[in-house]
Amino acid sequence: MRVVIGEDLVLLRDGLIRMLTAYDFEVVEAVDNGPALLRALVTHRPDVAVVDVRMPPSFTDEGLRAAIEARRQVPGLPVLVLSQYVEQLYARELMSDRAGGVGYLLKDRVSDVTQFVESVRRVAGGGTAMDPEVISQLLSKKDEPLAALTPREREVLGLMAEGRSNAAIAARLFVTEKAVGKHTNNIFSKLGLPPSEDDNRRVRAVLTYLNA
């Protein structure tokens, strides 16, 4: 599986290269600034990109903007953002693009290498990997669509956004899988997401919240 890394901190960049290589990823390029990241993503068209938000030259949001532009040029390019910050405006734009896998993890909350690697693989496979804190911040100013949901349904949606299956959600919340299925169906119903052969309703449910 081919990976492009965008990270300006040399120690972290080297650590990501070594870690992903150890798990059988091929790091085709690792760069330290926004313009170089965009070139690398468009040139290599990797299976997944691991991208920091704040990179040179301005150390504001170059990494995330480069990823968004790369997805415009390479539709469906899977992107996993790994950052210390939640850049709300561009994060919502990234999540609103329903083509290809997306993820957003916070560096200081990644405590398990295996889970991180699993998140990279999930995004590469077209899925989502979202830190609950990222979801919380993105939803903090967009609460109106949440009004119809119960607190438990919000919990279930947050875990769905992390890419968890119904079985995993049930284990996390100490309820039955049947109960999770009921909550999930209620969420779909309240969001106006009828059954469809073409759309992944779990992903659409999360995106509906992020862009309401």
The CATH number assigned to the domain with range 142-212 reads 1.10.10.10
Q: What is the homologous superfamily of the domain 1-131 according to CATH?
A: Response regulator (3.40.50.2300)
Q: Is 49 helix (H, G, I), strand (E, B) or coil?
A: strand
| pLDDT tops 60 at residue 122 | yes
Q: Which position has the higher pLDDT, 88 or 40? A: 40
The string of DSSP letters for 107-120 reads GGG---HHHHHHHH
Rounded Cα–Cα distance for residues 124 and 102 (Å): 8
Domain boundaries, the chain: 1-131, 142-212
Q: For 37-76, how does the pLDDT look when each residue is reduced to its tens digit (9 = 90+)? A: 999 999 999 999 999 998 998 887 889 889 999 999 999 9
| pLDDT tops 90 at residue 35 | yes
| pLDDT tops 90 at residue 92 | no
pLDDT band at 139; cut points 50, 70, 90: low
pLDDT at residue 197 in the model: 64
